[in-house]
Amino acid sequence: MLSEFSLIDRFFARRASALPHPQGAALGIGDDCALLAPPAGEMLAISTDMLVEGRHFFPDVDPKALGHKALAVNLSDLAAMGAKPQAFTLAFSLPKADADWLSAFSDGLFELAGRQGCELVGGDTTSGPLNLCITVFGSVPPQAALRRDAAQPGDDIWVSGTLGDARASLGVQRGEWTADATDAATFRRAMEWPEPRIALGLALRGIARAALDVSDGLAGDLMHILERSQVNASVDADALPRSDALRRLPADVQRRCTIAGGDDYELCFTAPSTLREAVVAAGQQARVPVTRIGTITAPDPAGAVSTAAPMIVWHDASGAPLTLTLQGFDHFHAE
Amino acid sequence: MLSEFSLIDRFFARRASALPHPQGAALGIGDDCALLAPPAGEMLAISTDMLVEGRHFFPDVDPKALGHKALAVNLSDLAAMGAKPQAFTLAFSLPKADADWLSAFSDGLFELAGRQGCELVGGDTTSGPLNLCITVFGSVPPQAALRRDAAQPGDDIWVSGTLGDARASLGVQRGEWTADATDAATFRRAMEWPEPRIALGLALRGIARAALDVSDGLAGDLMHILERSQVNASVDADALPRSDALRRLPADVQRRCTIAGGDDYELCFTAPSTLREAVVAAGQQARVPVTRIGTITAPDPAGAVSTAAPMIVWHDASGAPLTLTLQGFDHFHAE
């Protein structure tokens, strides 16, 4: 059995120190604290996420994919802020110290970290039920940060990439619906290897107003923008971008997966309608498709500040209203 | 059953926003990321710790004490760096959303956070086996940081407070030894309510050379300073400070608890012998006793850089050498 310290050293500290250090933490792994500062005039954007076996991933998950995803879901929060990745800490508990598992996990983790220039600067390991907690640090000029509270009536609503494939994968694994092997593999890849939209977040600085990443399902997540910005929204459910594989599932499954799926890690953002060309250009620059799905509307017809909960009016491609009872993914609700 | 979001809101976000915000995060809970910056010319000191039920605390732990301790062990890392607390994030998984438990837990957490001026700026909650992961942020001018790699031959070695009470409590609970009710309560309080030595860490800026916090037992932790600084040490085991309660346990138990106990959260630091009065004054200013326990020695008699592992030479009050096989607390070893 490996000791805690040799574990850290073997799989993480050594690999971390072998990477280039583009962001130059003054002090990294091996002291009581890491020392980090944002570039002059910028702030650190900080986000933390915890992944639990059986809740966020299956016990038999490919450990390399898990290493990727654990960091990816955190980087996705930086992307949603328009922040540039700088560093991360990793704390995890493991039932046992399995060298093969740790090696594969760290492969997935460091491949993404290296690609995004994100340096491992600290961590903690302990024995216990499998649990991964990553905290990421990015840099952003405060006035360029893509916040949730900046949406304005008249803004277009956009999403990146496609929605629903991760939820489709879960449904295949649960037997809720079926797909052929190729489509099932497409879905599974979306669930296990989400790609954080860092380049898009950076390209949207100065263009997008409000943004977040879609992690708990579009319906629930978009509500966070509406609540913080005190606005409403009108969304075309038929405009939600989806993969060809998802289009081969029944229409009601497509709707469920795209609207309330969860685990998408795409950006949902608003931008003035005068900047449509700039949004499309940002997507091209970041090599990520962007799709316009709706409009931010005033909080109520009279224009007064409403105290009621915000509202999403869903409609189909013909403009006919839809009544939806789908909820965002909520960790304390059975689905 | 409370939903994830109402949970966060009820117990944490609302309490966080009710606190004064001395450090002024530009953006806290409720967005994809918090935005934080150190004061001009300083850096952020960052540390993360994960606490797991059954490993770091008992299932029947007082939740208020747990809330305190979860933050305290992280603040202790800031203290060991000479950093001033600024903010923290909290991620945790819980088997169920129990309002009484969460209320008591947050009481313990926010009492300490408020006292130390440390603002909750973000978090994540999920269902799962009980696990707490806190990441803390403090500020420190980089040249004033108390690092592990700065010890020099001839430095005195000091520790704050007393050692061993937390380990004594564990032994009482395990039936390894017995204590009367008053002493047992003293031990238990040390284990459950450690006080991070923030004020001492700040007072030691410019005085101490190397420092760390004793969390895994003095023997193991001091080795980290020796390894990073490439030096050896000579330590008087009889000089290790201990409580009156611990002095009433057998001599061999006292030795085991003070040398290899774990969970002490005192500072162990080195300072030039010319600065003894300044160290004592720093302790008085911080209202924490400080005790000189040994000396940093050269890596080998010839003065060449040694490639061998560093060494602690233990002796008793008479100067007679001790042979110790006690190990620091290691999470992947059975004790």
| Spatial contact of A151 and A225, defined as CB atoms under 8 Å apart | yes
Question: Best interface-test mutation with A: which of B332, B333, B335 has the largest number of A CBs within 10 A?
Answer: B332
Q: Do B126 and A56 touch (CB under 8 A)?
A: yes
Q: Is the per-residue pLDDT at A205 higher than 80?
A: yes
Which has the closest alpha carbon to A179: A164, A160, A193? A164
Report the top-level CATH class of A4-143: alpha beta
Residue among B33, B81, B92 whose CB faces A45 most closely: B33
**R_g of chain B computed on alpha carbons:** 20
Contacts (Cβ under 8 Å, ≥6 apart) of B111: B68
Cβ-contact A305, A237 below 8 angstroms: no
User: Which residues, in sequence order, are CB contacts of A331 under 8 Å at separation 6+?
Assistant: A55, B4, B125, B126, B127
Q: Is A145 on the interface with B (CB under 8 A)?
A: yes
Phi then psi dihedrals of residue B277, to 5 deg: -65, -35
Which of A153, A182, A156, A157 shows the shortest CA–CA distance to A169?
A182
Domain boundaries, chain A: 4-143, 146-315
Report CA Rg, chain A.
20
- DSSP β-ladder status, A266-271 and A119-127: unpaired
Tell me which CATH code domain A146-315 carries. 3.90.650.10
At position B264, the amino acid (one-letter code) is D
Nearest to B14 by CA among B102, B96, B75: B102
What is the per-residue pLDDT for B267? Answer: 98
At A96, is the secondary structure helix, strand, or coil?
coil
Specify the pLDDT at position B312: 92
DSSP B307-326: -SPP-EEEE-TTS-B-----
Residue showing tokens 């989400």: A194
Q: State the number of CA atoms in the 13 A half-sphere of B67 facing the CB.
A: 21
Q: Both tokens of residue B137?
A: 């942020």
Q: For residue range A135-153, list pLDDT tens digits in order.
A: 999 999 999 999 999 999 9
**Single-letter amino acid code for the residue at A175:** G
Between A60 and A172, the higher pLDDT residue: A172
Tens of pLDDT along chain B (335 residues) come to 345 545 655 567 666 665 555 455 666 677 888 899 999 999 999 999 999 988 888 788 899 999 999 999 999 999 999 999 999 999 999 888 788 888 899 999 999 999 999 999 988 888 889 999 999 999 999 999 999 999 999 999 999 999 999 999 999 999 999 999 999 999 999 999 999 999 999 999 999 999 999 998 999 999 999 999 999 999 999 999 999 999 999 999 999 999 999 999 999 999 999 999 999 999 999 999 999 999 999 987 555 555 667 899 999 999 999 877 654 444 433 33
Nearest-10 Cα torsion for A145, A148, A152, A157: 100
Burial of B224 (0-12, 13-18, 19+ CB in 10 A): buried
CA-nearest residue to A327 within chain B is: B3
How many angstroms away from the CA of B331 is the closest CA of chain A? 6
Name chain A contacts of B150, Cβ cutoff 8 Å. none
**Could you read off the pLDDT of B283-335 as tens digits, one per residue?**
999 999 999 999 999 987 555 555 667 899 999 999 999 877 654 444 433 33
Task: Provide the pLDDT for residue B180.
Answer: 97
A150 shares contact with chain B (CB less than 8 Å)? no
* B334 close contact with A: CB closer than 8 A: no
Q: Which of A160-169, A197-206, A315-324 has the lowest mean pLDDT?
A: A315-324
The answer on pLDDT for A89 being more than 80 is yes
Question: For residues B97 and B2, is the Cβ–Cβ distance under 8 A?
Answer: yes
Decide if B91 and A49 are in contact by the 8 Å CB cutoff: yes
Of residues A160 and A332, more confidently modeled = A160
Q: What is the ipTM of this complex?
A: 0.86
Contact status of B2 with chain A (Cβ, < 8 Å): yes
How confident is the model at residue A15, as a pLDDT? Answer: 67
Give A6's pLDDT tier (boundaries 50, 70, 90): low
Average pLDDT over residues A213-229: 93
A99, pLDDT greater than 50: yes
pLDDT the model gives residue A331 = 40
* One CATH from 3.90.650.10, 3.40.190.10, 3.40.50.720, 3.90.580.10 for B147-315: 3.90.650.10
Average pLDDT, chain A: 88
Q: Is residue B32 within 8 Å of A148, Cβ to Cβ?
A: yes
Q: Spell out which residues of chain A touch residue B39, defining contact as CB-CB under 8 Å.
A: none
Which DSSP letter does residue A27 get?
Answer: B
- Yes or no: say if B113 and B80 are a contact pair by the CB < 8 Å rule: no
Burial B91-129 (b: 16+ CB within 10 A, else e): bbbbeebeeebbebbbbbbbebbeebbbbbbbbbbbbbb
Pull the structure tokens for residue B21. Answer: 């915000």
B-chain CB neighbours of A332 within 8 Å are 1-4, 7, 97, 127
| Distance, C-alpha B165 to centroid of its chain | 14
**CB-CB: which of A43, A48, A127 is closest to B124?**
A48
pLDDT for A306 equals 53
Question: Could you tell me if B126 and B64 are in contact, meaning their C-beta atoms sit under 8 angstroms apart?
Answer: no
Beta pairing partners, A233: A296, A312
Per the model's pLDDT, the better-predicted residue between B140 and A10 turns out to be: B140
Which residues of B are known binding-site members for substrate? 56, 263, 329
In a mutational test of the B interface, the residue from A6, A50, A266 whose CB has the highest number of chain B CBs within 10 Å is A50
pLDDT value for A329: 42
Q: What is the pLDDT of residue A160?
A: 98
Q: CA dihedral in degrees (B325, B331, B332, B335; nearest 10)?
A: 40
DSSP A253-302: HHHHHHHH-----EEEEEE-GGGHHHHHHHHHHHT--EEEEEEEE-SSTT
Name the pLDDT band for A14 (thresholds 50, 70, 90).
low
